[in-house]
Structure 1
Amino acid sequence: MDILSDFIGLVRTETHLYGSLELSGVYGLKFPGLTGVFFIVNQGACFLSVADGPNIELKTGDFVFLPALRPFTLKSSRDVKKTSAIGDKKMKSYVETGKLKFDGDGGGASTSMIAGCFEFSNPESKLIKEYLPEVLHIKANDFDETPWTHAILRLISTELSQGRPGFKAAFNRLSEVLFIHAMRIYFTRPSVKNEPSWLRALNDVQVGKALKLMHANLGKSWTVTSLGKAVGLSKSGFAARFKSAVGQTPMEHLTQRRILKAARLLEESESALIEDVANTVGYESESAFRKAFRREMGASPRDFRSGKKESLTRKKRPSANGP
């Protein structure tokens, strides 16, 4: 069982295309917060800062993803102090036309980028999102181990520039593959693998096995003792090893995973009884399930499902304020 593939499949990102950005001269453009925005640098270079944070240099072939709703700035150089705000009117035009061009003073090299956004569309996205940095920057040379990724970047650019029938659908599918590969690169970086998380724990033979057992059968009546026995460790030894690798106790992780699956089941079926959902994810007591659900999701199962239904009826295409 490949848990990373399993969870990336469960996360179910929805991709939306904003369009192309053509920037030249001296510029500093401040954008409103856009949830899940990403950029592919086709040509040239620029500097990105999020919420007035440090400048990050982006070069040809780079991919950058901003998971959180934070304002960001694109600049022609680190030294640029003056910025121009991209307001709602300009963003609306960008979303509608798919093109944003800015010619600053002073001439100089131009930068060409493609922008889109990944919208996380279900509760289990939390299991990935909570471990993502504010800026996920994958440099062009990070893709060198898989040359086909460079081909995907070129194909995305070609689809957008030619605008042939079905190019948006092609962009969406190609971007999803790019997202999976970016996640794989990020979560296997040494610096990330040394941080406690269930993703890091996949590399631990015994804790990784325990995670696979839990995730494959959330409805089973797992205990710390039974999990430890299944992977050849004592109760105390397993509990300590799991906490060190994952950053949660076995039961904390199991509860989180159960409740997030329950939230997805409630979203997917309006007719499913709360009692049945509780049983599916391992709760014999509906009362205990309701308490755990409220603790994890901040709302009762009934209110959560009602709130999601209302949200879906209001859902529209990406706007100036994000998807």
Structure 2
Amino acid sequence: MDVLSDAIAAMRTGLPHSSRTHKFAPWGLRFGASDGAGFHVVLRGSCWLIPPECDEPLALSPGDVVFLAHGRGHGLADDPATPLVDVIEAPGGSWVLSEDVPTGSGPSTLILCGAYRLSRARAHPLLTGLPDVVHLPARLGSHPALRSAIELLGGELERPGPGSDAVVPALLDTLLLYILRAWLEEHAGPGTTGWAAALGDPAIAAALYGIHRDPARAWTVEELGARGGLSRAAFARRFTTVVGQPPLAYLTWWRMTTAGRLLSTDDAPLRTVAQRTGYSSEFAFAKAFKREYGVSPGRYRKERAAARGGEH
């Protein structure tokens, strides 16, 4: 898997859900804080995003996309002065209003909304480094793949057909990756730091790809630098500056993140999990895992199994 796909997979829990909402002014929706992330796309008309905390409202036009990576509460409204009504998640994953509100008679707005369930326990820095609100304004010719995914998802929600229960989650997963890819593309370039710069830097990207493709390998800083044609010292400096931590520190973090995911989703023996994450002995793996998570691998697996059972 590539780094972007891995970052999402490391945090995903459960299935995403979405809705296609048609509103007539005046209207206002308040989305509460959550552990996940969400997006809104204006398909027709216009509205305002009331961002988390005290930031200024953001005007949204047809085709605009906003992504809220950190699950902070926010609002959507036809006007910043319109009162907001709480939106709550129903058991089936749909959204309903907490109270009955008369339908307005003003200008209409059609919005595509979606939400992803994420675990913040091992949040990948690629996502934690995103701003509170990622705004991708509609621009002619920009991000055609993202626009195509939006059109497909909107059409599937408007006209469900055979297989929609499988198509919609797959399109939501695709849309999330296209949103993140679009933001990374817009923020890559000379002078940038963080994950947009990391994935756009051939030397660092090559090293990250190696770590993610084969976390069990006994990587050295020299080997990782050689993948991008850099000396050990030059690579270590560049990686630490751009990514925010030294290469081997990130390798250890990713190994432990991978181990946690394997223990949550795989019944493989602990010895096998240790080998897949670069530890020659189960004892060394258990010691490193407990130092990172605060519990033994066996107990972690039992706790995750119990948590999954409680979700059903």
TM-score (norm 1): 0.79
Q: 1:276 corresponds to which residue? A: 272
Residue 301 (1) aligns with residue 297 (2): yes
Q: CA RMSD in A?
A: 3.4
SS of the residue corresponding to residue 29 of structure 1 reads strand
Q: 2:180 corresponds to which residue? A: 183
Q: Which residue of 194, 207, 215 corresponds with 2:212?
A: 215
**For each residue in 1:163-216, what CA deviation from the matched residue of structure 2 results, as whole angstroms up to 9, or x when unmatched?**
333334322222222222111111122368855335522332333332233333
Q: Which residue of 122, 128, 136 corresponds with 2:134?
A: 136
Read off the aligned partner of 1:61 and give its amino acid letter: G
Q: 2:259 corresponds to which residue? A: 262
Q: 1:213 to 1:119 in 2, by over 3 A?
A: same
Q: 1:308 to 1:216 in 2, by over 3 A?
A: same
Correspondence list, 1:1-323, <5 A: 3-4=3-4, 7=7, 15-34=15-34, 35-54=36-55, 55-78=57-80, 80=81, 83-86=83-86, 88=88, 91-92=89-90, 95=93, 103=102, 107-120=105-118, 126-141=124-139, 144-147=141-144, 149-190=146-187, 194-228=191-225, 231-270=228-267, 272-316=268-312
User: How far apart in 2 are the matches of 1:13 and 1:188?
Assistant: 26
Identify which of structures 1 and 2 has the higher relative contact order when contacts are C-alpha pairs closer than 8 Å and 6+ apart. 1
Read off the aligned partner of 1:37 and give its amino acid letter: G
User: How far apart in 2 are the matches of 1:94 and 1:268?
Assistant: 23
SS of the residue corresponding to residue 20 of structure 2 reads strand
Read off the aligned partner of 1:33 and give its amino acid letter: A
Contact 2:87 2:97 in 1 (8 A): no
User: How far apart in 2 are the matches of 1:265 and 1:251?
Assistant: 21
Contact 1:20 1:99 in 2 (8 A): no
Q: 1:259 Cα deviation (Å)?
A: 0.8
SS of the residue corresponding to residue 171 of structure 2 reads helix
User: How far apart in 1 are the matches of 2:92 and 2:3?
Assistant: 38
User: How far apart in 2 are the matches of 1:228 and 1:151?
Assistant: 37
Contact 1:39 1:65 in 2 (8 A): yes
SS of the residue corresponding to residue 283 of structure 1 reads coil
Q: 1:288 Cα deviation (Å)?
A: 4.2
Read off the aligned partner of 1:40 and give its amino acid letter: V
SS of the residue corresponding to residue 107 of structure 2 reads strand
Question: Identity percentage over the alignment?
Answer: 30
Q: 1:37 Cα deviation (Å)?
A: 2.5
User: How far apart in 1 are the matches of 2:38 and 2:225?
Assistant: 41
Contact 2:7 2:124 in 1 (8 A): no
SS of the residue corresponding to residue 114 of structure 1 reads strand
**For each residue in 1:127-165, what CA deviation from the matched residue of structure 2 results, as whole angstroms up to 9, or x when unmatched?**
543233322222222x72344543432332222222333
Greater shift, 227-236 or 256-265, is seen at: 227-236
Count of matched residue positions in the alignment of Structure 1 and Structure 2: 309
Read off the aligned partner of 1:176 and give its amino acid letter: D
Q: 1:124 to 1:191 in 2, by over 3 A?
A: same
Q: 1:168 to 1:115 in 2, by over 3 A?
A: farther
SS of the residue corresponding to residue 25 of structure 2 reads strand
Contact 1:24 1:103 in 2 (8 A): no
Contact 2:39 2:68 in 1 (8 A): yes
User: How far apart in 1 are the matches of 2:102 and 2:249?
Assistant: 53
Read off the aligned partner of 2:22 and give its amino acid letter: E
User: How far apart in 2 are the matches of 1:233 and 1:156?
Assistant: 43
5+ long unaligned stretches in structure 1? 317-323
5+ long unaligned stretches in structure 2? none
User: How far apart in 2 are the matches of 1:22 and 1:274?
Assistant: 51
User: How far apart in 1 are the matches of 2:173 and 2:106?
Assistant: 34
Q: 1:110 Cα deviation (Å)?
A: 1.5
